[in-house]
């Protein structure tokens, strides 16, 4: 049996705000529309961004812990994020010796930026 990544689903109280955040700060593009939100393309990763889905009966939660992306311009990426008012939670050196930072996204989710 083989598995492959299909999507990451972000459930948020304000899908439009969350979609704008990932588009403005990380270059995501709208890939498609779905009930209550959109499917985004984040550099090959499909992000589904919706509120809680009324047709799902299981217990639903908002957010996700974090998504990590690489950058070949760490300083430029952080400067752009700061310019956009994004809150940087922590900057540190990863186990590889490369710089990493965690930043705050809508609804308590986080992104990790990793120096390539």
- Average confidence (pLDDT) over 72-83: 95
Q: How far apart are CA 74 and CA 100, in angstroms?
A: 8
Q: Which domains does the chain have, with CATH numbers?
A: 8-54+61-115 (3.10.180.10)
Quote the pTM value.
0.81
pLDDT at residue 3, as a whole number: 62
3-state SS assignment for residue 98: coil
**Mean pLDDT of the region 62-75:** 88
Q: Is 53 in contact with 66 (CB distance < 8 Å)?
A: no
Q: Under a CB-based contact definition with an 8 Å cutoff, are residues 114 and 101 in contact?
A: no
pLDDT at 1 exceeding the cut of 70: no
């Amino acid at each position: 049996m083989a598995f492959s990544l299909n999507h990451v689903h972000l459930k948020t109280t304000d899908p439009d705000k969350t979609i704008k955040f990932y588009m403005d700060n990380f270059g995501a593009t709208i890939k498609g529309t779905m009930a209550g939100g959109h499917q985004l393309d984040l550099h090959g990763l499909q992000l589904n961004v919706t509120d809680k889905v009324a047709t799902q009966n299981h217990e639903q939660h908002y957010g996700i812990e974090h998504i990590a992306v690489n950058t070949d311009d760490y300083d430029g990426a952080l400067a752009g994020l700061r310019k956009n008012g994004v809150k940087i939670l922590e900057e540190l050196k990863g186990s590889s010796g490369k710089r990493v930072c965690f930043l705050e996204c809508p609804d308590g989710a986080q992104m990790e930026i990793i120096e390539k």
